[in-house]
Amino acid sequence: MPKLFKWGASISEYQNSGAFHCADSNWTRWEKSTHPNGISRIKNGDASGCSADFWNRYAHDIELMKQLKLNSFRFSIAWERIEPQEGIFDEEALKHYDQVIDALIAADIEPMITLHHFTHPGWFEDFGAFEHEENIAYFVRFAKKIFERFGHKVTLWNTINEPTIYMFQGYLPFNSVFPPGQKNFGLGLRVLRNLMHAHAEVYYTLKKMKHGKKAQIGLVHQYLKFKPYHWWNLPEYAPGLMLNYMMNDLVLNYCKTGNFRIPLPFTHYLAYSTGEQKPPMDFIGLNYYSRVLVTFNAQSKDLLQPTCYPHETMTDMPYAIYGKGLYEAIADVSCIGVPIYITENGIADHKDDRRATFINDYTENLFRAIEDGYDVRGYYYWSLTDNFEWDMGYSMKFGLCAVNLQTQERTIRDGAWQYARIIEMAQSATA
């Protein structure tokens, strides 16, 4: 086990502080809009509100991190809060993040910043966000501003969280549960390509800045594997092949070579290359939860349905506990040839009766991967506190700490103590 291994938890500003502090963003608009039939886009009609109010309660949350033995913390900076109007940066918000970073460092908890975690300013959305290549310049300007300000004290940086999920949830015809809710496959691919370009642009720009050399800058990829319930069932097997290519191989190839190419006729206009023939990143952030096992049901309007085998335990999300998959994911992304941080891994478990099992199962596989020589440098549990789970609202309880949304009282869940014990054990083994 590497001595300097990071044991952390992850949050994102919008999910853990809500829209309350975030002015006008793609997600505040999405929350307010409804489906054409008037029904809320968010489960149970939930509104993010101020969520777990990390914005005001970060000092207390840092104490919780200490109790849980964490030595690192991943959070996102809300672009919509920093630059509410195009070109106008909010000094108060910058000061706020300065204080959060200082408080983490004072508590010996290494900050890891994410620059884009699904949300951005309303004006950027109005410009067409990542649908247009020319808009990348706005994101680069924001990233430079943040790095200028915090680059001297923060070493770990993520550019973009989960480009494939941003595309999958926001643009694919059978999905579109995230803004902008476009059902347009071609546009989705263009967005994915532009996100790859945006990442590289930010990466190379920050690397050239003061403190850029010592910074470790990565891209966060959600490793999502679709597997057929019955390996011999073609309708279950075939869509998985295409989805796996789109959701994994395309991005992993890009990460390895800097070349983004879709191997289909008439798609050359979607190609992008950094021209460097090497990974445009210092590390890869790996978000891993489970694999998606699909059954085919011709009677249902959702032809493909997520499920699990009878011997498996489901999480509250529509997937099972599948720790072995973390090993597989690590082995697969290691083809990029850069260090790996597990930037997210966690379980939605409102009864807290599977969290400890989950943590054991996944960390066992993490330890096995490290023993087998894979260069994994950190593991961040999702999430520190219960969070606004996008279209699922507050129905999913991922937190190491339960949050009473009325009183904001936090309680460390029993299952979370297992994480603290594992950290202690791992650290004493390397001491």
Q: What residues make contact with ligand BGC under the rule CB under 6 A?
A: 12, 15, 161-162, 165, 222, 287, 344, 382, 389
- Shortest reach from residue 25's CB to ligand BGC, in Å: 14
Do residues 356 and 390 touch, judged by C-beta distance below 8 A? no
Indicate the residue among 121 and 285 with the shorter CB distance to ligand BGC. 285
Indicate the residue among 114 and 274 with the shorter CB distance to ligand BGC. 114
- Shortest reach from residue 27's CB to ligand BGC, in Å: 11
At 129, list the tokens: 């966000």
- Shortest reach from residue 162's CB to ligand BGC, in Å: 5
| 8-state DSSP, 120 | -
Indicate the residue among 320 and 426 with the shorter CB distance to ligand BGC. 320
- Shortest reach from residue 359's CB to ligand BGC, in Å: 15
Do residues 383 and 16 touch, judged by C-beta distance below 8 A? yes
Indicate the residue among 80 and 236 with the shorter CB distance to ligand BGC. 80
- Shortest reach from residue 12's CB to ligand BGC, in Å: 5
| Of the candidates 352, 345, 225, the residue with the CA atom closest to the CA atom of residue 293 | 225
Spell out the alpha helix ranges (H) of 214-282.
234-244, 250-257
- Shortest reach from residue 317's CB to ligand BGC, in Å: 6
- Shortest reach from residue 48's CB to ligand BGC, in Å: 12
| 8-state DSSP, 340 | E
User: How far is 276 from 157, CA to CA, in rounded Å?
Assistant: 21
- Shortest reach from residue 175's CB to ligand BGC, in Å: 13
- Shortest reach from residue 389's CB to ligand BGC, in Å: 5
- Specify burial of residue 100 (Cβ count, 10 A radius: 0-12, 13-18, 19+): buried
Indicate the residue among 384 and 426 with the shorter CB distance to ligand BGC. 384
Do residues 218 and 283 touch, judged by C-beta distance below 8 A? yes
Indicate the residue among 10 and 274 with the shorter CB distance to ligand BGC. 10
Do residues 25 and 122 touch, judged by C-beta distance below 8 A? yes
Helix 185-208 vs helix 163-171: angle between axes, to the nearest 10 degrees?
A: 150
DSSP for 97-112?
A: HHHHHHHHHHTT-EEE
Do residues 16 and 382 touch, judged by C-beta distance below 8 A? no
| Of the candidates 339, 223, 327, the residue with the CA atom closest to the CA atom of residue 281 | 339
| Of the candidates 138, 26, 4, the residue with the CA atom closest to the CA atom of residue 71 | 4
Contacts of 17 by beta carbon, 8 Å cutoff, 6+ apart: 50, 51, 52, 53, 54, 55, 78
Indicate the residue among 151 and 393 with the shorter CB distance to ligand BGC. 393
- Specify burial of residue 298 (Cβ count, 10 A radius: 0-12, 13-18, 19+): exposed
Indicate the residue among 12 and 418 with the shorter CB distance to ligand BGC. 12
Indicate the residue among 53 and 386 with the shorter CB distance to ligand BGC. 386
User: How far is 248 from 241, CA to CA, in rounded Å?
Assistant: 11
Indicate the residue among 125 and 389 with the shorter CB distance to ligand BGC. 389
CA distances from 130 to 138, 170, 180, 191 (A): 10, 11, 11, 5
Do residues 203 and 159 touch, judged by C-beta distance below 8 A? yes
- Shortest reach from residue 178's CB to ligand BGC, in Å: 10
